[in-house]
Structure 1
Amino acid sequence: MLEENKKKIKILSPSANVVDEQEGDELIRKAQKILSNNFLQVEYSKNFKGKNTFLSGTAEERARDLMDAFLDEKVGAIISSQGGDNSNDLLDLLNYEIIAKNRKPFFGLSDITVLLNVIALKSKMTTYHGLDFLWGLGKNATEYTEKILNFLLKDGKLNIFKNPNTPEWKVINPGYGEGTFLGGCLASFCLLLGTKYDPLELVNSPYLLILEDIGESKSIIKSKLTQIKQHKKFHLCKGIILGSFAFCEQKPKENEVHIEELAREVYGNSDIPIARIEEIGHCVENIIIPIGGKGRLECKKNVMLCFL
């Protein structure tokens, strides 16, 4: 729960720059209004919009913006503006011990998956997948998002509320599992595998994976799902949740293959529960998932997901 003197929400861009155009400005106005209507003060980082052709700043500038946000005692939460491709630039430049001593809610998705997982595990704190400033608040937010955000920031609790405007949750493979939430954008998560920031190595305990992506071919998706299965710590995986795969479902010559079928093909011989929850990922209004937090996934006749 945010303390009375920590109602400032820091908005920063750890990866891509925010394009200064009419649509971007409109999204900023809408997102800021949502936070302001909830009596939260919005403050933008020095490199929020950026000056680079595709990045908000140098790696050092972006890392400093993030560290400054954690160190600012008046900041109650940090929200990434959007994703990109280059969050991994920051990993060697962050001080995880300082972050651990100044922990506060940190939100993002897409390429911010990289930071959410590494900070959660190296700083031993919970980060939050499913909300960013431009798209999560500025583009896709309804009363549903505001309700979840209010519960988290004002009451200090994170609950799951099924969005009535989204597809029903699907059971892909039956089973039951508990563990630490990891994952996010499939492509971004796989960037970390095999590095010194490998989440599956850092967690070294039972985990639940959330996986989503945007604009990838099904052949690439299958390749990355297989990469995860071949990881030496895959035996600790106790469940997989497939989210939205925006603009991945209708690639030419592949329309007959669905994401669920790819998951069954790759993981079909395992006894772990696998679910499809399309309220996670790009281009949708998201459930907020606590990366580094504990959860339970049960797939029987229906899907049951809860935070522990």
Structure 2
Amino acid sequence: MECVALISLSNGLPNKQVEIISNLEKLLTNMNIKVIKSDIIYKDISNSNYSGRDRASELMKLYKDPKIQGIFDVSGGDLANEILQYIDFDTIKDFDKPFFGYSDLSVFINSIYSQVQKKSYLYQIKNIVLDQTNNSFQNFYDYINNISEAFLNFNYKWLQGSNMSGILIGGNLRCTLKLAGTKFMPDFKNKIVLIESLSGDENKIRTMLTHYKYLGVFELCSGVLLGSFTELENILTDSKVENLILSIIDNPNIPVIKTKEIGHSYNSKAVIIGKYYKFIK
């Protein structure tokens, strides 16, 4: 990638993140990547979030700009679903440029797949600045320069089953659930479903997973990939978290794997929503 764009499609960033974005721009520039910053990254002059229409319009400009070869969302929060009604998915289909985003952008990334079957990266590009170990920067650098696939390679363990395969969908639990009942929710049949969460104590995680269960997710899917559950894993031991989730999935025929390397930590790896994955024990 020689030229990329930065945008916030969920909550606008507060001004205190100006330094982070500046450092991100410097890192990318030092990698010989030109950075175009959208007018919609921070909150507006009244300290409010731009409208869904405005954010979607700005995004479509970036897709249509022939100079831009990749789009990185630097936001997260609550508002990404506001943009969906204003998105021209045919335009996204026509322009071959990868989109990177995480957390609330699970809404948009899964909609890209459900509407035009295109792949996107579940990843927060700010990690290459915020990860003090420098691993995230090195992994990203090696990936875009075709040196290594470490950016996408994550360790995991089996909780049940021994093999699973299918196209990967899902992402953040709370945010993906916003698509329930809409045309933007992807079909779970024969898919591997990624589930991770930043916030959520035991009760919140239980109720959201139960919502998935009532949607038929754990009967339709070919397997479940569990990422990190940041708040819950700070409250309960790993084994209690795993047993809790398995008790709600309540289907021994569904293969389940668990990793701590996908989620909201600064050293998280990336996954590709819409890509076919195969896992064998």
Cα shift at 1:85:
0.3
- Distance in 2, matches of 1:129 and 1:208, equals 14
SS at match of 2:170: strand
- Distance in 2, matches of 1:256 and 1:277, equals 11
- Which residue is 1:49 aligned to? 42
- Which residue is 1:210 aligned to? 194
CA RMSD of aligned residues (A): 2.4
Alignment of 1:71-110 (within 5 A): 71-110=64-103
Deviates more, 1:68-77 or 1:172-181: 172-181
SS at match of 1:290: strand
2:58 matches 1:65: yes
Q: Is the 8 A contact 1:193 1:199 kept in 2?
A: no
SS at match of 1:242: strand
Q: Is the 8 A contact 2:107 2:179 kept in 1?
A: yes
Unaligned runs of 5+ residues in structure 2 are: none
- Which residue is 2:4 aligned to? 9
- Which residue is 1:146 aligned to? 137
Q: Is the 8 A contact 1:175 1:271 kept in 2?
A: no
Q: Deviations over 1:198-222 (max 9, x none)?
A: 123xxx6421111111121211111
SS at match of 1:73: coil
- Which residue is 1:191 aligned to? 178
Alignment of 1:280-291 (within 5 A): 280-291=262-273
Deviates more, 1:45-54 or 1:258-267: 45-54
- Which residue is 1:223 aligned to? 207
Letter in 2 for 1:189: T
Q: Deviations over 1:53-83 (max 9, x none)?
A: 452x111110011111111100010000121
- Which residue is 2:252 aligned to? 270
Q: Deviations over 1:98-132 (max 9, x none)?
A: 11001311001010110011012212211000223
Letter in 2 for 1:285: N
Q: Is the 8 A contact 1:129 1:291 kept in 2?
A: yes
2:3 matches 1:19: no
Cα shift at 1:93:
0.4
2:94 matches 1:112: no
Identity score, percent: 25
Q: Is the 8 A contact 2:223 2:254 kept in 1?
A: yes
Letter in 1 for 2:160: N
SS at match of 1:258: helix
User: CA 1:170 to 1:256, structure 2 compared with 1: closer, same or farther past 3 Å?
Assistant: closer
Give the total of aligned pairs. Answer: 280
Q: Deviations over 1:230-287 (max 9, x none)?
A: 2245433111111111122345xx6798321111211243322212111111123121
Q: Is the 8 A contact 2:136 2:266 kept in 1?
A: no
Cα shift at 1:156:
10
User: CA 1:161 to 1:99, structure 2 compared with 1: closer, same or farther past 3 Å?
Assistant: closer
- Distance in 2, matches of 1:111 and 1:282, equals 11
SS at match of 1:75: coil
Cα shift at 1:187:
0.1
User: CA 1:152 to 1:69, structure 2 compared with 1: closer, same or farther past 3 Å?
Assistant: farther
Q: Is the 8 A contact 1:239 1:297 kept in 2?
A: no
Cα shift at 1:46:
1.1
Unaligned runs of 5+ residues in structure 1 are: 301-308
Q: TM-score, normalised by structure 2?
A: 0.90
